[in-house]
Amino acid sequence: MNDAIIYYRARPSEPEASETAMRLQRQAVCAAVEAGQLQVVGEFIEQEDEASDQVLRLKREALWRAVETDKPFAEGNTRDETRRAYYAAVEAARAHGAACLVVVSHAAIGSGEVFAEPWVEQGSGLLHVMLAAALVPTLPDIPVPAGAPGPLCLYADFRPGQLETLVYLCNAGPEALSVVTVDLDSITMFEFYREEPEQRWVDASTFPKQQWDVLPAGRAVLIDTLSHAMWDFVDRYRLAWSDGVGRRWTVAADSLAFNAERLAQDPTRVWEELAPARSADRCEEAV
């Protein structure tokens, strides 16, 4: 168990988003403590505002210019005066000796920017722990969003500020589906494209099967969470369900269309229609 200095972030100008963010950050820390991973010895709360947002925007713009010109990114050696709580947390962890610095989340709060840790003179020299807490609640089921292209679809709730995309299975048809199951696994894009198309989903059963007894008409259930940092991976799905007269259907799908880089370029491409053909290899009578 590591002694830990906790770094929280809040946003007073957006009280509702800030309160939710603080609640979810504290929940993530409590879970780590209960799991025996951390022992909290101090905590600091940063109050973010437009000034801190501007620093992050300028840093991000400089990084993209470096990427576009194929030049090294020089962050500079200027102390970020909008991050006083961060520096205080670093000093407290150094003073403690064995403490690690826990950044609970890098996700944006409300309309703010995604957090990036500021420059520290001579480096922090600390063990950094990132809990990657989402700062917007993740809902296990939602109403089917407007715009579904067919009766059964995948929908990507692209949340760039939260650093992850939520993938929902949507029943936009007129009747409930029963015994809905999802098998899922994850492979690299290289492995995905190396396989022949008909072989790309053969082993999509590595993870435990998810199952819902009923998926009502007009509802959507969360089946996957895609990290924006894992842009070179593809999640594969094998879905099965029974229709209103008891026939069993299966269909294979993947998360390729929901890659974070693709959605960042075109945030409107959030749907994938699932339309299995009624053939012997994809439809069987339910037992």
| Mean pLDDT of the 63-68 span | 61
Tokens of 78: 């200027």
| pLDDT over threshold 60, residue 277 | no
Sheet architecture: strand order including 283-285: 210-215, 177-188, 233-242, 247-254, 283-285
Q: Does residue 41 register a pLDDT over 90? A: yes
Q: Return the CATH number of 141-285, one of 1.20.120.80, 2.70.98.10, 2.60.40.10, 2.60.40.420.
A: 2.60.40.10
Distance in angstroms (rounded) separating the CA atoms of residues 196 and 154? 23
Q: Who has greater pLDDT, 71 or 225?
A: 225
Indicate the pLDDT class of residue 222, thresholds 50, 70 and 90.
very high
Give the closest residue to 228 by CA, choosing from 201, 265, 258: 258
DSSP for 77-112 reads S---TT-HHHHHHHHHHHHHSSPEEEE---S--TTS
Residues of the chain with CATH 2.60.40.10: 141-285
Q: What pLDDT band is residue 275 in, cutting at 50, 70 and 90?
A: confident
Choose the weakest-confidence range: 73-82, 108-117, 241-250.
Answer: 73-82
Pairing of strands 152-159, 128-130: unpaired
Residue 75's pLDDT is what? Answer: 57
pTM for the complete prediction?
A: 0.82
CA gap 8, 46 in Å, rounded: 6
